Structure 1
Amino acid sequence: MSTLFDPVPFGALELPNRLVMSPMGRGRTTVDGTPLPVMAEYYAQRAGAGLVISEATHPSPVAVGHAHSVRLHTAEQARAWAEVVDAVHRRGGRMYLQIMHAGRISHPDLHGETPLAPSAVRADGTARVFRGKPDYPVPRPMTEDDIARTVEDFARCARTAAEIGFDGVEIHGANGYLLHQFLASATNRRSDAHGGDIAGRIRFAVEVARAVAAEVGPERVGMRLSPGFPLNDMSEPDRTETYPALLTELDRLGLGHVHFVAGSDTDLVRRLSRLWKRTVVINCGTGPLDTDSTLAAADRALKDGAHLLSFGRQFLANPDLPERLRTRAPLNAWQPPFFYEGSARGYTDYPVLSDTAPDTPAVTAAH
């Protein structure tokens, strides 16, 4: 565990530890997806992470996946995000923006349009809109113009992120959203250049990565992946061939990191981690919320080939997670009723060690 808290190179940066705050949608936005001021406090509280990765951020209105998800495609949104990243930097932190298009995991109630996807394959499940939970609709297959426009949306969003001070960007290619939908044969039934065989199905993800890298530099770009993860009605029977091919192309672009989601095909992630030539980030999952279990998960991920370890709910409930793990202090219990919408409660009011009296230990979650 000594290396967990040692400085580590990461592209042009040096991180003070190997702990990454995983992207987590928290819903503290206006109706149009502009970050609320409380977001700056939330992220700044967690600036002790080696790297903070923002919640998934949409580069256009039609990219939106659920109510109160955050965006970056207007000047007002850019000003609000600039306050967030400035707050993190003032605390000595480093922050990447994650960019995500939801694809078919969306609904017209969110943006007035039929959701876009590689093919007209409806997702099983219900959408999170402002009122109710309607079924996902059948999406509209993207035209070549739609694809080109979407690639440019990612590139423009990355360019804006760099201009307002983000240290880099992560492309969301996981969890059943648009890039993942292009990768999987179950959701990509196209017969044109963006479908068919593996070379066709990885093409869109590679085009997005190339365009984003051209804007901010490849060493400042990563991609999050979830091979074999069934979330959002996904199926990938040929994943053992698809992902090595994708990583080969991303490596040629010189991307700085890949980030694997917990719940992915574990054996394949081990193989891919050894294939990738630069930084591997592995999400360690939630598991029991206690210090020993969290450190054990980190140890397993390091043995599986990770260079950096990302944690979600552990960082959500513990703004000072690196210090708690370093000192083996207890972890706070999280508050699920306040995960996705609300104000400061269950968001910026989790205690840190300096707020805890010596005779009043932090609350350890039951499990």
Structure 2
Amino acid sequence: MPSLFDPIQLGAIQSPNRILMAPLTRGRADKQAVPTDIMVDYYTQRASAGLIISEATGISREGLGWPFAPGLWTDAQVEAWKPVPASVHAAGGRIIAQLWHMGRQVHSSVIGGQPVSSSATATAGEAHTYEGKQAFETARPLTLDEIPRLLEDYALATKNALAAGFDGVQVHSANGYLLDQFLRDNANFRDDRYGGSVENRIRLMREVVERVASVAGADRTSIRLSPNGESQGVNDSNPQPLFVAAAKALDEIGIAFLELREPGPEGTFGRTDVPKLSPAIRQVFNGPLVLNSDYTTVDAAQAAIDRGVADAVSFGRPFIANPDLPARLRSGAPLAESEMRTWYSRGPEGYIDFPALETAAA
């Protein structure tokens, strides 16, 4: 069996190890979703990851409701992103952009209009806004004649990601966001070709990935799914046939890799008793399979690879306080801890002020 520290081919991208950096929302862009200079340092510090998957990045104002998150739909955003991949590449790293449409998980005060979703539903709880937390609003269903426009939004964001220098893209289809709202039956009540049957509910996901792959190439296209358990109010009554069908469709497209966020009963965030579906998905998806959620040790990650269910593991929160995480995992050094209060704050504290192992030791 390969080691966590062995190289792996992820489509067109040669990764020197199997320790990927998972997408992590950090809120350091400006109000126009334009990346800021501090983000160059942040990503460059983490260039030793086998592959960096960027923080979730909006494909449009309609789809981006998280305060101070970055986008990829304007020229100004593209120009501001360019130093990030350039610096990561100069440091020997690889980085792809995660493309994000939040669907109903936004507030009109941020996006300037009513949220959209698969159906007229609302998430329980409150949305993050520039004016503090506000109750989620009922979304309106996307109409059939809006779907081509949505696909073009994904295509433009993909084109812009490549123009900014990213090595590829990942479609965010997990965690209760727009594509997940179409996939799962407690949020999708449509009676057209995008609702009802499993085949219909995976249709938009497949069309988005096909459109993105037509721009970036399938070998530079990946996707993230969250197949087991509730996520931000989105769930499914029978997830296995749904996500096995989704994985089979993705395999037919020939994407670079599939990432699965799979929390368990002991998870820090999104814990669930719903069995993990990666073994079933492994039977129909023949490309590299990347597992994510609450991996913090070499032993746990290596065990997933040894079982043959994973080809690589993406680490999330450990990368916040450990910019040189692969070196720390290889050496067995203790991991530093981050503080939640700085995860989404605006400045360098808790963002670029964590020292690498050698500096910390000195």
Aligned match of 2:31: 31
1:340 maps onto 2:349 in alignment: no
Identical positions, percent:
38
Within a 5 Å distance, the mapping from 1:2-21 to structure 2 comes to 3-21=3-21
Structure 1 residue aligned with 2:333: 329
Structure 1 equivalent of residue 90 of structure 2: 90
Distance 2:164 2:66 in 1: 25
The reply to whether residue 270 of structure 1 matches residue 273 of structure 2 is no
Supply the distance in 2 between the matched residues of 1:2 and 1:64 (Cα, whole angstroms). 38
Q: 3-state SS of the aligned residue for 1:128? A: strand
Q: Secondary structure at the match of 2:277?
A: helix
In 2 relative to 1, CA 205–2 (structure 1 residues): closer, same or farther, beyond 3 Å?
closer
Match of 1:237 in 2: 237
SS of structure 2 residue aligned to 1:9: strand
TM-score for the superposition, normalised by structure 1? 0.93
Counterpart Cα distance in 2 of 1:115 and 1:149: 16
2:208 pairs with 1:205: no
Aligned-residue offset at 1:57 = 0.4
Deviation at 1:8, TM superposition (A): 1.6
List aligned pairs for 1:193-342, cutoff 5 A.
Answer: 193-263=193-263, 265-285=274-294, 294-302=297-305, 303=307, 305-342=309-346
Distance across 1 between alignment mates of 2:86 and 2:205: 30
* 1:301 CA drift (Å): 2.2
- Equivalent pairs counted in the alignment come to 352
- Preserved CA contact (<8 Å) 2:120 2:139: yes
- Judged with a 3 Å threshold, the aligned counterparts in structure 2 of structure 1 residues 2 and 269 are, in CA distance, closer, same or farther, namely closer
Structure 1 residue matching 2:3: 3-state secondary structure: helix
Q: Match of 1:129, as an amino acid?
A: T
The CA deviation string for residues 63-112 of structure 1, in whole angstroms up to 9 with x for no partner, is 01321121111111001111111111110100010001000001101011
1:353 and 2:362 are equivalent in the alignment: no
The answer to whether the 8 A contact 2:155-2:211 is kept is yes
Q: Which amino acid aligns with 1:279?
A: P
Q: Report the TM-score, using the length of structure 2 for normalisation.
A: 0.94
Mean CA deviation greater in 158-167 or 315-324: 158-167
**1:273: Cα distance to partner?**
2.4
Amino acid at match of 2:145: D
Partner-residue secondary structure (3-state), 1:31: coil
SS in 1 for 2:314: strand
User: Which residue of 2 is the match for residue 109 of structure 1?
Assistant: 109
Q: 1:83 to 1:229 in 2, by over 3 A?
A: farther
How many Å separate the matches in 2 of 1:233 and 1:111? 21
**How far off is 1:2 after superposition?**
6.8
RMSD over equivalenced CA pairs, Å: 1.4
Distance 1:231 1:137 in 2: 18
Shift of 1:300: 3.0
Deviation at 1:204, TM superposition (A): 0.4
Contact 2:262-2:276 within 8 A present in 1 as well = no
Structure 1 match to 2:158: 158
Query: d(CA) in 2 for partners of 1:221 and 1:296?
Result: 29
Contact 1:175 1:229 in 2 (8 A): no
Task: Say whether the 8 Å CA contact 1:106–1:115 is kept in structure 2.
Answer: yes
Contact kept? 1:154, 1:212, Cα under 8 Å: yes
Match of residue 290 from structure 1: none
* Structure 1 residues 219 and 169: alpha-carbon distance in aligned structure 2, compared to 1, 3 A threshold: same
Structure 1 residues 328-367: Cα deviation after superposition (integer angstroms, max 9, x where no partner): 1111111211001221110000011121236xxxxxxxxx
Unaligned ranges ≥5, structure 2: 265-273
Q: Any idea what SS the aligned residue of 2:355 has?
A: coil
Moved over 3 A (4+): 264-267
Distance across 2 between alignment mates of 1:66 and 1:4: 33
Which deviations, in whole Å up to 9, do the C-alpha atoms of 1:275-296 show, x marking residues without a partner?
A: 210010101415xxxxxx5112
